[in-house]
Amino acid sequence: MKRRWWLTAAAAVLLAAAVERVLAQPARPASPRRLALVGGMLLDGYDAPPLHHAAVLIEGDRIVRVGPAASTPVPEGYTVIDTSGRTMMPGLIELHAHLVLLGHGNYATWFPWIDRNGGDPMLRTVMTTAAAQLLDAGITSAVDLGAPLEASLAVRRDIDTGKARGPRMLMSGPWITRTPAVFPESYQIAVDSPEAAARAVTHLADAGVDVIKAHSGLRREDYVAIAETAHRRGLRVHAHVYAEHDVRNALETGIDVLQHAGSAGTAPPYSAALITDIANAGRPVVITAAHRSWIYPDTAAFPERLQDPALARSIPPAIWREIQDSTTAWRALPYFARTDREVLYRDRGVRQFIESGAVLGMGTDSGTPLNFHTEALWREAKVHADLGMSPMRVISALTRVGATVLGRQRDLGTIEPGKLADVIVLQGNPLFDVTALAHVETVVKGGVIEKRPATGQEVRR
């Protein structure tokens, strides 16, 4: 009889594991969420005229109908967000973020501070803080390009399961390099041969990363090994490249995304032949223009941005104090040592790609010194618009083109039936002034309202 009432130890372990798996699953609503955004101007992510006084209907995590509000009735049971006087558009896609950074001024003191103040738990706090900042800025999908592997996967999992707020994250984990940088050892994998580079890719792929980052000092044969190994595993490779010969090597060996190329004047303009070859290949370029040679003069013109109360509210107090301490003498930070040279080249570095018609995605290196996640992407958009990129093309780069760069264009990047319901609502018209992207009032990610509108923009059932 006891066998009927008492489980064996092994069975108890199995039962406990099964219960834990069930409890770990996010709660599922009894019926799909139904949401309607009604009344605002719609930019759908395509290079097409806006749809005025539009309606977007969402069921579950997908868009089910889009059209003029006058001819798109909202069925019973929908939650309705009145977007009158606002702009609706796809969620923004950030193609180069660093969750491990929050705008702190000096890498050499930032990482030791994290270690002294909790180590891994503090690192997770930093990363989830950054993720929430990105989401509130209207970014619903982002690529993180450089962090310890375990922390990267854990934060992605926390966001996916609803334990943390953030965009839909694609994680690279540590980058692959021949010349390790100032970052700690766990942020990078040092290699000394193509074979070692291929093993590093295999290790990261086995662990479950979403993309591979090829960093500095790599040789042509390294790029070949990295690209071939990653592509066999269905992963895209983002290369950290500045000098012309590195850009050329990455382009010709099949690297998928050229990150930093032409960035902020850190290299002189490239040869016409290289620009033409990049444009003809349709290889995506993510310039990350604004993070040095624009951030520095912008801060000189308005240093008050470093004490923005809204930014302070988005960061835990102890971390905020450390960031403030690190920017006391911000003009002398090592990160900005070559600013004068970079400002000399910066406009030409960006225009060379805009004028060539190259495929441009938008990424910011957000989190780097003074380059806060809360505003980095709209600053990047402004640089491109100021240097001749049409506002409509900027919007497409932030949305539809970004989804294509990620290989997620079937689900992301445009507002149309069948796509994932990633929609943001702005105050203002970004086609008139692209800095309207700084005024994100509502964020819907996968059909869930992640940021609610301010007072005066009614939410009703």
Quick one: 353 and 421 in the same domain? no
Instruction: Name the stretches of the chain with pLDDT < 70.
Output: 1-31, 264-265, 454-461
- Are 345 and 271 in contact, with CB atoms under 8 Å apart? no
The pLDDT score that the predictor gives to residue 259 is 97
| The predicted structure's pLDDT at residue 2 | 35
Residues 217 and 348 grouped into a single domain: yes
Same domain, 221 and 275: yes
Kindly state whether residue 437 falls inside one of the protein's structural domains. Answer: yes
Same domain membership, residue 443 and residue 374: no
* Position 164 in a domain: yes
Quick one: pLDDT at residue 23? 30
Same domain, yes or no: 364 and 448: no
* Residue at 215 is within a domain: yes
Name which of 287, 398, 400, 392 is nearest 349 in CA terms: 287
Q: Does 122 map to a domain?
A: yes
DSSP 298-359: HHHH-GGGGG-HHHHHTS-HHHHHHHHHHTTTGGG-GGGTTHHHHHHHHHHHHHHHHHHT--
Amino acid identity of residue 55, one-letter, is A
8 A C-beta contact, residue 87 and residue 428: yes
Cα(141)–Cα(420) distance, rounded to whole angstroms? Answer: 11
Instruction: Give the domain range for residue 329.
Output: 92-406
On whether residue 19 sits in a domain, the answer given is no
Specify if 110 maps to a domain.
yes
Cut 0.85: pTM above it: yes
Measure the CA–CA gap between 76 and 12, rounded to whole angstroms: 47
Assess whether 52 and 170 both reside in one domain.
Answer: no
Residues 288 and 269 in one domain: yes
Q: Which of 413, 399, 424 is nearest to 40 (CA)?
A: 424
20 part of a folded domain: no
- Residue 268, pLDDT score: 84
Same domain, 190 and 308: yes
The CATH code of the domain that includes 85 is 2.30.40.10
Q: Please state the domain count of the chain.
A: 2
Side chain identity at 365, as an amino acid letter? D
Please say whether the beta carbons of 170 and 141 come within 8 A: yes
- Is residue 10 situated within a structural domain? no
Do 84 and 204 fall within a single domain?
no
pLDDT at 453: 78
For residue 221, the domain's CATH number is 3.20.20.140
Question: According to the model, what pLDDT value does residue 8 have?
Answer: 33
Among residues 360, 376, 406, the one where a domain terminates is 406
For residues 245 and 391, state if they share a domain.
yes
State whether 166 and 149 are in the same domain: yes
Shared domain check, 81 and 100: no
